[in-house]
Amino acid sequence: MTEKVLKAIQDYYPDDFAYCYGCGRRNSEGHHFRTGWQGEQTISLYTPLPEHTAIPGFVYGGVIASFIDCHGTGSAALALHRKNGHEPGDGTEPPRFVTASLKVDYVKPTPQGISLKAIGTIHEIHPKKWKVDIEVFAEETLCARGEVVAVVMPSTFLKKD
Amino acid sequence: MTEKVLKAIQDYYPDDFAYCYGCGRRNSEGHHFRTGWQGEQTISLYTPLPEHTAIPGFVYGGVIASFIDCHGTGSAALALHRKNGHEPGDGTEPPRFVTASLKVDYVKPTPQGISLKAIGTIHEIHPKKWKVDIEVFAEETLCARGEVVAVVMPSTFLKKD
């Protein structure tokens, strides 16, 4: 049985927030990470491309860090959206988060050619700042642990719009 | 005056270690980060591609994390190589490191279209484990701070060779 993310928060970001190289649906070159609820936790699935190598056979750590990064901001957006009474696809624009900090512990070499799964556990620090603890699995093997602190996008990011 | 990295450690990695998506010279799709000495510190330079957006106008955090990651492993390899009496290009194969952990604090939104500079300060934890503190600048502006703990590549990584 293949797992799927049905309603991802990234499917509903406003267009001007949909060009992220990690998770923007409008970035034709990007990874297109997608993050949805799985009970009270969050899930993203991604199969790295053949060129995303560390050494042949194993996935590049920077792609794993990217996966964790966008899973973190997506999870925070899901959580604040739900706190505000909304779910992805209900017609209300979700909040937008950016990453304040990112930590990754590489637990095991991550094999290539396998769908990776990020599972997030979300903690509210305050309404505009959330921490997401993330585990990345290749099948049943825990390959990396991450922590993302995400904050509601500050207005400085919008000045160029 | 344009800064350049003349002798990068990645230019001298053995071929089977040169496919990293971040810094492998033989990965045709990758970023080709290159890390060299700058006095007692290390330097890498990189201009993100137009598609490496967070939101239009700013660089994606996952690419900055990748830049920090490879700058960390490259710096550790430079340092152990020098400790062993060698410099890049002297005919001796450099040591190979992998990332144990990565931390990034995103200090300011990083503008696109500008060459980024990573500067590393290296600390030996023990001969097989090094910590590299990294600052990433866009021109004179500090945009991100990173810390990489890099370890000499364990034999588990080579079993697939």
| pLDDT single digits (tens) A88-132 | 999 999 999 999 999 999 999 999 999 999 999 999 999 999 999
Choose among A107, A116, A125: nearest CA to A43: A116
Work out the pLDDT band at A156, boundaries 50, 70, 90: low
**Which class is domain A9-156?**
alpha beta
Reported ipTM: the value is 0.95
Question: Which residues in B lie closer than 8 A to residue A57 (C-beta atoms)?
Answer: 160
Task: For residue range B36-47, list pLDDT tens digits in order.
Answer: 999 999 999 999
Contacts of A98 in chain B (CB under 8 A): 54, 61, 106, 109
- Dump pLDDT digits (tens) for A39-63: 999 999 999 999 999 999 999 999 9
Each residue of B119-153: b (16+ CB within 10 Å) or e? Answer: bbebeeeeeeebbbbbbbbbeeeebbbbbbbbbbb
Give the start-to-end residue ranges of the domains of chain B: 9-156
- Residue A90: CB atoms within 10 Å: 11
Rg (CA), chain B: 15
State the nearest Cα–Cα gap between A132 and chain B, in angstroms: 14
Q: How big is chain A by its Cα radius of gyration, in Å?
A: 15
Question: In DSSP terms, which residues pair with A42 in a beta bridge?
Answer: A37, A120
Whether the per-residue pLDDT at B155 is higher than 90: the answer is no
pTM: 0.96
Nearest chain B Cα distance for residue A7, angstroms: 21
Instruction: Tell me what the mean pLDDT of segment B14-20 comes to.
Output: 93
Average pLDDT, chain B: 95
